[in-house]
Structure 1
Amino acid sequence: MTTIPTIDIVDALAAEYADKSPNEIIELALSQEGEIAISFSGAEDVVLIDMASHLGKPFRVFSLDTGRLHAETYQFIDAVRKHYNIDIEICFPETEAIQQLVTEKGFFSFYQDDHKECCGIRKVQPLRKKLATLDGWITGQRKDQSPGTRNDIPVVQADPGFSGPGKQLIKYNPLANWSSADVWNYIRLMEIPYNPLHERGFISIGCEPCTRPVLPNQHEREGRWWWEDATHKECGLHAGNLKK
């Protein structure tokens, strides 16, 4: 076992593994000491789970339940749990924060304000609570997922959004250099589960009120928070991608 990378060697690791395969990057992550987990919500994340399942190393998986997911997404999460015979650690938002938001602003305030307040309560706070218990997390981010926020993500990085004083969190992005076609070629080849909403034109799938199918030749992130700026669509889970 190697030790948890410190800030002075993360860049070196990123450079060393920049052209490595996703399998090699996942193996690196799972070889670190400390608590490492795969963040699971979509098609990319199931690819990570499948790859991890073939490495013969123990691994953890967690997922965020915002309370606003499609029924198909809940069924998908359960299908993955059964397919790989794994526990999926479900993270929930704080009830009091949800009650206050809905009481004061209703169920769809994000259409008038923006999505950040609701996402902050339903996604970012539960994620922050989970990441506080981890030393690193493995994500399905790809450079081509968002034209304005993910072009430069490295395969290994010190997490700029969730690290803090005395807490160096490492983020692994094994699929950073993959395309959507690479992901779906793997899914078809390995015959692994995927969200049935993909068969109805949904590409990037989030909460039900904030996700819709995309038209031919639209970018996948155009189906998320479509009433906002098309080039800077992050809910806060990967807030470090946003340029200051």
Structure 2
Amino acid sequence: MFDAHLPEFFLVSTIFFGAGLVKGVLGMGLPTFAMGFLGLLMPVPQAASLLTVPSLVTNLWQALAGGALRRLLQRLWGLQLGILLGVACAAWLPATDERFGRMLLGACLLAYGLCGLAGWKPRPPARAWERVAAPLVGGVTGVITALTGVFVLPAVPYLQSLQLDRHQLAQALGLSFTTSTLALAALLAANRQLDLDGSVHSALALAPALAGMVVGQKLREEMSEALFRRCFFVGLVLLGAWLVAR
């Protein structure tokens, strides 16, 4: 019986290795990359459940690395609260079919890829407006997370607008992604889409994701990050467009 699942196992492992590779080079992109390709093989909720453990471990590692966690929590608590509330509110939305979830996922990937290629950077909100903007951005991110399993929009452009240095930005991304992962895992468990078997399968995906992350970190030291980022965003645009068109 196991032999019958070997092709699928190696294909999924390859996807997670590639996702870890992207995260190792860019400091982000594991959920986006993995959900994009897993969405071609299986329903979005099943893909999101597979992503739970690799996403949680790698993002928690990223959030704890560095000395700015306390300052970031003080500044970004509204964003984290918004994410939690957004995911919780999404649980009350009417059920959607698989095609809608796939199209929404594709649209998110397409929009994110186009923004990346265009080099678009949103203007930073005035510090006084952060208390209003952060929960709103978090809420929208939470809803999109619940519907697609992708955490990037609009949280990533918002965090990029805060003019954090690259180390603080990486830590802030890890923090927000950790919150999104935990909230999504709770939602999937409540909907009985993440059970013990799903957790075991997700844990098996951790090894290739970590291996890819280590390789990616080494590649980052030897290659142009700008070139890799451009290729990454081109790939997201193509993949997102194909998902929308299916």
TM-score over 0.5 (shorter chain): no
Which category of TM-score, normalised to the shorter sequence, fits these structures? under 0.3
- TM-score, normalised to structure 2, is 0.27
Relative to its length, the structure with more strand (as a share) is 1
